[in-house]
Every structure is written in structure tokens, then in C-alpha cells.
């Protein structure tokens, strides 16, 4: 069973190392102690959402990108398939809605303008 703090730490360390940055540089930019950042990266500390925002900002990556990488890693461990595209059912439903709206003589722009 994956441990969230460990997966977050792995991703943060991986991003930092791919950037060729040191713990000291990132801890300074994130305004967090070097020791604490090291513990977060090793999965020994649970980082608050504020701290994660500061670290991802220091790494110049969106928080959502980091969380997506964590989610993908956990899904692999759980053997869950992650769709890279819109599921066929949703695409079909969307196409039907578009046809229906066009048949009514309304475009998406018309709908927004009439709000």
C-alpha cells in the first residue's frame, strides 16, 4: 500500500534532482529549513498544503503537476489504468449535446451570451 508522504517526497526529490538543484537552494527559495525539506523528500514528514505550495513554487512547477505525478505513481502501485484521453462515453455524450444544440440553432457562444 503506497504511503502518500513517501510518494510526494519521491516526486519532489526527483524534480529537484532533474533540475540539478541542491537541497540548500530549494530550501532557501521555499523558505523552509534544509533539514525539514530533507525529511519531506525522504517521506519522513507530512508536508502541509502551504509548504507544498512553497516547495513547488521554489521548484517552478505547478502544484497540480506535482500532485498529478504523485497520483500517477500511486495508480501504478495500485494497478489502476489512468486514461490519457477523455473516456469514449463522455466524448459520445458531449458530441450528442453539441448536435442537439446545433439543431436548436444555438452555439456555445450564444448560450454564454444569453446568460
The three three-digit cell numbers of residue 90, written as one number = 463522455
Average pLDDT for 17-21: 97
Residue written as grid cell 503506497? 2
Ordered domains of the chain (ranges, CATH): 4-77 (1.10.260.40), 85-115 (no CATH)
For residue 52, what pLDDT is reported? Answer: 97
Bigger pLDDT: 25 vs 82: 25
**pLDDT tens-digit map of 34-54:** 999 999 999 999 999 999 999
Give the residue among 55, 49, 65 at the shortest CA–CA distance from 26. 55
Q: pTM of the predicted model, to two decimals?
A: 0.69
Supply the pLDDT for residue 11: 97
Distances 110 to 91, 95, 103, 113 between C-alpha atoms, Å? 22, 18, 13, 5
Residue 65, all three cell numbers: 503537476
Residue 28 has pLDDT above 50, yes or no: yes
Amino acid at each position: 500500500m503506497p504511503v502518500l508522504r513517501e510518494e510526494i517526497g519521491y516526486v519532489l526529490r526527483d524534480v529537484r534532482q532533474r533540475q540539478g538543484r541542491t537541497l540548500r537552494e530549494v530550501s532557501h527559495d521555499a523558505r523552509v529549513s534544509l533539514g525539514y525539506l530533507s525529511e519531506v523528500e525522504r517521506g519522513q514528514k507530512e508536508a502541509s498544503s502551504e509548504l507544498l505550495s512553497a516547495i513547488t513554487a521554489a521548484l517552478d512547477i505547478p502544484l497540480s503537476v506535482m500532485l498529478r505525478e504523485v497520483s500517477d505513481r500511486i495508480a501504478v502501485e495500485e494497478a489502476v489504468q489512468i486514461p490519457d484521453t477523455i473516456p469514449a462515453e463522455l466524448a459520445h455524450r458531449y458530441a450528442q449535446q453539441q448536435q442537439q444544440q446545433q439543431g436548436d440553432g444555438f452555439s456555445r457562444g450564444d448560450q454564454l451570451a444569453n446568460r
